[in-house]
Every structure is written in structure tokens, then in C-alpha cells.
Amino acid sequence: MSLKTFKPYTKSTRGTILVDKSKLWKGKPYKPLTSVKYSSSGRNNQGRITSRNHGGGHKQKYRVIDFYRKKIDSKGEVERVEYDPNRSCYIMLVKFDDGERYYYLAPKEINVGDKISNGAKSEIKVGNCLPLSEIPVGIDIHNVEINPGGGGKIARSAGTSVSISGTDGSYSIIKMTSGEIRKIDSRSLATIGVLSNPDQKNIKIGKAGRSRWLGRRPHTRGVVMNPVDHPHGGGEGKSAGGRHPVSRTGQSAKGLKTRDNKRTDKYIIRRRKKKRG
């Protein structure tokens, strides 16, 4: 897929860069694999806003994706590649020999009419799903399970992939895009290939209206609020906050570690590189 630019007929089209979706399926999604998606606008079950700046946006249907790759030892054909408003990469509708259809995440090199399969006996080919123990070292993979049978959790967004850099007994050593290297059970499933829509990162939405279509409401900076509304608020004239940046509730906004995963730390061989900020 290529990027689309526009002639600057208006201020917004001058800066707009979008992904060309002309080769994608133009019809509606496959109805049996869709479900209702309710909009919460950032509110909890008591009607109180718990996530600010959410709301509005175009009505969407949720596409039920099979991250588990349940259909084992059966050949399937890619019927179409579709846009999914719920994720950054594209999805593909696959029809199997027995007539069943599933939505899967679409790799970059996949085309309509390609054959794919799941299971340990599958060929080493883009779109096929195999256990990590059956995939050669150095191959790009996505939709990787953390625990066998738990469904794909790692590398699911547009243009992403991880690679196998070796084995350690019953574990495969996986190198993440963040630089982290960790061990994952070799019985876990992974799909071969790099995910589609790598140009997603180059999009410039160009105007505030497109943010509203996506369900994003305007974000008000803390420094322009009053002290009662935000820790950065108050002061005479323009002020810079006068302290290290924090959230509205006072939590550090400079990468404070909020989770403690000691249970899984033993699987991490090398931690990701920390960003300087």
C-alpha cells in the first residue's frame, strides 16, 4: 500500500497524508463474524469519566478475530483483505475446505487467493501458523502466544514483527522490536510474516475533524487550568507548571514504572532500551 497526498485546496488538505486503501475490500464485513461495539465515551458502569478525551466518533462494528488459530491441519484460501477500524493492521477473511470462515490478521505479502494453513505440519510460508519449535531461527513472525493455547498477544499492530534468535531447552528466544530479548515456551503458536499496513506510522490526519471521527475529543493542557483542576494549574500569566510533569492525579508523566511483573521477570534475558527523556 502507498501513501496518498492531496493538493492544498484547503489548509487541512495541505498537511494531510493518508494510506491508500484502494486495493482493500470495499463491501461490508462478513456479518456472522461481527458483533455490536458499544461506545462508552470513557465512562465506567457508574457513568463517571475514567478516561478523559474519549467520545463521539463514527459508529463501528467489532470484527471477531481468531488469535488462537483454532482450525488445525486444514487448508484455507484468502477470500479478501479488509480494513478493520478496531486495529492498525489489515485483516483477511479466510475460507477453509469445510466452508468455515475466520478473520485473521493479514501479513504484508498476503494476496487474495493465497492458501494458508495452521498446525505443526504447515509449510514455512507467509500467513501459516506453527509452533515456535517448528519455525527456523531468523524468520519474522507475528501474533505470538505468550503461553501455549492462550492466543496471540505479541506483535499484533501494523508493520510489526519479532524474530526467533535461538532456543534454550524447551524455550524459544524471541527478540522484540523494543530490543528486549525473552524466552517463550516453544509449544506456543506464531504466524509467519510481517504485519500489513507498515505506512500507518506515516499518517498525518491533517485536521481536527478527523480526530473527532476516530472518537478523540480535544485535550486540554494542565498548565492552562486552575490549581483546583490540575497540579500544573494556576500562576500569573503563562507559566510552565513549576514542577516535574504529572498527571491530573499527581502521578509522574515521565515513565514511572506502575507495574511489577516479578513472576515473569525470569523469562527476560535482556530488557528493552530505556528512552531518554
Q: What is the pLDDT of residues 136-177, one digit of tens each?
A: 999 999 999 999 999 999 999 999 999 999 998 899 999 999
Please determine, for residue 277, whether its predicted confidence score (pLDDT) is greater than 60.
no
In a domain, 108, yes or no: yes
pLDDT of residue 273: 75
pLDDT at 1 over 80: no
Res. 82: pLDDT tops 80: yes
**Any residues with CB less than 8 A from the CB of 88 and at least 6 apart, and which?**
157, 158, 197, 200
Same domain, 102 and 170: yes
pLDDT tens-place string over residues 42-68: 999 999 999 999 999 999 999 999 999
Q: Cα angle vertex 186, ends 191, 195, to 5°? A: 20
CATH code for position 123: 2.30.30.30
**pLDDT value of residue 256:** 85
Note down the domain range covering 159: 3-41+53-200
pLDDT score recorded for residue 84:
97
Q: How many domains does the chain have?
A: 2
pLDDT value at residue 257: 82
pLDDT for 68 equals 96
Tell me what the pLDDT averaged over the chain comes to: 93
Same domain, residue pair 169 and 63? yes
Beta strands in the chain (DSSP E): 3-5, 17-19, 34-36, 61-63, 76-82, 91-96, 101-105, 115-116, 129-131, 140-142, 144-145, 152-154, 162-168, 171-175, 181-185, 189-192, 268-270
In a domain, 211, yes or no: no
So what's the pLDDT on residue 276? 55
**What are all long-range contacts of 3-7, with beta carbons under 8 Å and residues at least 24 apart?**
3/199, 3/202
* pLDDT above 70: percentage of residues in the chain: 98
Q: Report whether pLDDT(92) > 80.
A: yes
